[in-house]
Amino acid sequence: MDWLERVAKLRQWTKGGTRAPHKPLLLLYALGRFQEDADGGLRYTAVEQDLQRLLTEYGPPNKTTPAYPFHHLTSDGIWEVRTDRGPGSPGSGVRDLRETGATGRLAPDLRAALRHDPDLLGRITRLLLDLHFPPSLHGELCEAVGLEPEPAGEAGRLSAVRGRRDRRMRELVLTAYEYRCAFCGYDGRIGAVPVGLEAAHVRWWAFGGPDVVENGLCLCALHHKLFDKGVLGVGDDQRILVSQRFAGHSPAAREHVTALAGRPLTGPQPGTRPVAAAHRDWHARQVFLGEPRPATAA
């Protein structure tokens, strides 16, 4: 059985580019726990808070519950649920999962495959990350679930589900923004080489975002991470949005984040198309958290 192909085809709600990383997050968490204890099960009441934190941190802006993937992942043939009464999930109701002692674990055949081929766990991890999350979040997400990402390689053959990424994207975007962060104007270099500047996808590549300048922003490493975490966004008027959910009281937090609210983007240079409305709208719906702060007074 080709487990990478099965993982790549998880059944998810994908209409209109909607993010639904519930199953991938549960699977990443389960792989991390498998690494710790290959025979252990995940009792819903014991892991519910951990899973909720993952969904809150890395899921879509709308409220959601870990009960949904805990039950529905069984339909993909890689997860099983038992209750105190025996095999089978009681459904996706939180109360039912709690009161029946529902316990999930990776499917027996997948557990056997992971024992037989220790490298498989890393390849599945890399595939889940590549298909569902932007690269800026891979490291911290692995740390959150206790996994080490596998270097890109064999898993890449299934990442072809989305096609190959355009290696020119970074240079095209940095050039369009004249090697300056579109949010803060940072333009650091070591000699002639830019340092700490990255090409951020507005609509994530994992969700159909093309490798084109109109879907990119040149951002410093800090603002790239905050952009992908939903703290920062871009409004219809090409001005910076800052989420009201962000909290930071230090002078540095105010200067580097909250004071950005309402500022116009730096760039792109004349003759270059700005971020396309369709990609801005996707980020606003699927990534940006809550409501934007009022513009900061000059």
Helix (H), strand (E), coil (C) string for 183-234: CCCCCCEECCEECCEEEEECCCHHHCCCCCHHHEEEEEHHHHHHHHCCCEEE
Q: Give the integer Cα–Cα distance in Å for 128 and 27.
A: 9
Helix, coil or strand: residue 244: coil
Q: Does 19 score more than 90 pLDDT?
A: no
Q: Which phi and psi angles does 26 have, rounded to 5°?
A: -65, -40
CA geometry: angle 175, 139, 40, nearest 5 deg: 155
64 CB-side CA count, 13 A:
22
Q: Which phi and psi angles does 92 have, rounded to 5°?
A: -100, 10
Q: Which phi and psi angles does 42 have, rounded to 5°?
A: -110, 95
Q: Give the integer Cα–Cα distance in Å for 164 and 209.
A: 12
Name the band, by pLDDT with cuts 50, 70 and 90, for residue 150. Answer: low
Nearest CA to 176 out of 192, 206, 197 is that of 197
CA geometry: angle 282, 274, 242, nearest 5 deg: 55
Q: Does 165 score more than 80 pLDDT?
A: no
Residue 48's contacts (CB-CB under 8 Å, 6 or more residues apart) are 66, 98
Q: Give the integer Cα–Cα distance in Å for 70 and 51.
A: 9
Mean pLDDT over 191-197 rounds to 90
93 CB-side CA count, 13 A:
6
Q: Give the integer Cα–Cα distance in Å for 252 and 11.
A: 43
Over pLDDT 70: what percentage of the chain?
90
Beta bridge pairs of residue 197: 220
Mean pLDDT over 10-21 rounds to 74
Name the band, by pLDDT with cuts 50, 70 and 90, for residue 161. Answer: very low
Residues 267, 173 contacting (CB under 8 angstroms): no
Q: How far apart are the first and last CA of the chain?
A: 61
Q: Does 219 score more than 60 pLDDT?
A: yes
For 7-16, 70-79, 169-178, 206-215, which range has the lowest pLDDT when averaged over its residues? 7-16
Q: Give the integer Cα–Cα distance in Å for 8 and 224.
A: 26
Q: Give the integer Cα–Cα distance in Å for 276 and 156.
A: 28
Predicted pLDDT at 297? 63
Q: Give the integer Cα–Cα distance in Å for 101 and 231.
A: 37
Sheet holding 42-43, edge to edge: 42-43, 103-106, 79-83, 86-87
Average pLDDT, the chain: 90
Question: Which residue is associated with the tokens 């890393």?
Answer: 122
Residues 160, 181 contacting (CB under 8 angstroms): no
Mean pLDDT over 29-37 rounds to 93
Name the band, by pLDDT with cuts 50, 70 and 90, for residue 207. Answer: confident
